[in-house]
C-alpha cells in the first residue's frame, strides 16, 4: 500500500529543507525521527513534525506497524513568496523575500517495495532496447 502526504506553506525556504533530504531517503521513517531529533537546524524540527504526522496517519489508515514503512519519495517544492521592502540609504529600496515550502512524502510498505523492484527490470530492459534502436537510426541518418 502507498500513502501520500502533502504539507503546504511550511515557514522555511525550500533550499534549506532540500539540504536535509539525501540522508533521510536512505533510512527508514522511524529512524529518521531519531536522526532529525539531534540536528541543530530549523528545517530538522519542521521535517520531524511532518514525518511523525505522516507515520501516525499511515499507521492508522493502513493498519500496519510503523517499522514496515519506507520512504518512496521525499520532495520539496517551492511555495508562495511574501515580498516586502525595507528602506535603504539615499532613497533606495531593499527587497525582503520570505519563502515558503511545500513538502511531499510518499510512504510505502516494504512488501510493495519488493514487488516494485521485481517488476522494474522488465521495464528498464524494454527502455534500453528502444534507446539502442533510436541511436542506430540516428547514426544511419547522419551517415547518409
Q: Which domains does the chain have, with CATH numbers?
A: 2-109 (3.90.470.10)
How far apart, in whole angstroms, are the C-alpha atoms of residue 135 and residue 123?
Answer: 19
**Residues recorded for the chain:** 144
pLDDT of residue 127: 77
pLDDT of residue 143: 72
**Nearest by Cα to 102 from 4, 3, 31:** 4
The whole-number mean pLDDT for each consecutive block of 10 residues of the chain, a chain of 144 residues, reads 93 95 92 95 95 94 90 94 95 96 93 65 72 77 70
Check: CB of residue 17 under 8 Å from CB of residue 43: yes
pLDDT of residue 38: 95
pLDDT of residue 122: 61
pLDDT of residue 131: 81
Check: CB of residue 119 under 8 Å from CB of residue 129: no
Q: How many CB atoms lie within 10 A of CB 74?
A: 22
Supply the pTM of this predicted model. 0.74
Cα distances (Å, whole numbers) of residue 49 to 13, 15, 60, 87: 16, 18, 17, 36
Amino acid at each position: 500500500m502507498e500513502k501520500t502526504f502533502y504539507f503546504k506553506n511550511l515557514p522555511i525556504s525550500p533550499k534549506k529543507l532540500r539540504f536535509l533530504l539525501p540522508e533521510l531517503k536512505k533510512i527508514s521513517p522511524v529512524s529518521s525521527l531519531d536522526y532529525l531529533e539531534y540536528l541543530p537546524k530549523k528545517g530538522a524540527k519542521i521535517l520531524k513534525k511532518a514525518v511523525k504526522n505522516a507515520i501516525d496517519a499511515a499507521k492508522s489508515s493502513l493498519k500496519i506497524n510503523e517499522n514496515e514503512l519506507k520512504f518512496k519519495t521525499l520532495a520539496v517544492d517551492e511555495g508562495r513568496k511574501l515580498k516586502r521592502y525595507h528602506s535603504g540609504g539615499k532613497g533606495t529600496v531593499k527587497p525582503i523575500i520570505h519563502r515558503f515550502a511545500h513538502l511531499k512524502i510518499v510512504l510505502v510498505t516494504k512488501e510493495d517495495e519488493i514487488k516494485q523492484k521485481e517488476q522494474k527490470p522488465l521495464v528498464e530492459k524494454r527502455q534500453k532496447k528502444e534507446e539502442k534502436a533510436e541511436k542506430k537510426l540516428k547514426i544511419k541518418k547522419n551517415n547518409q
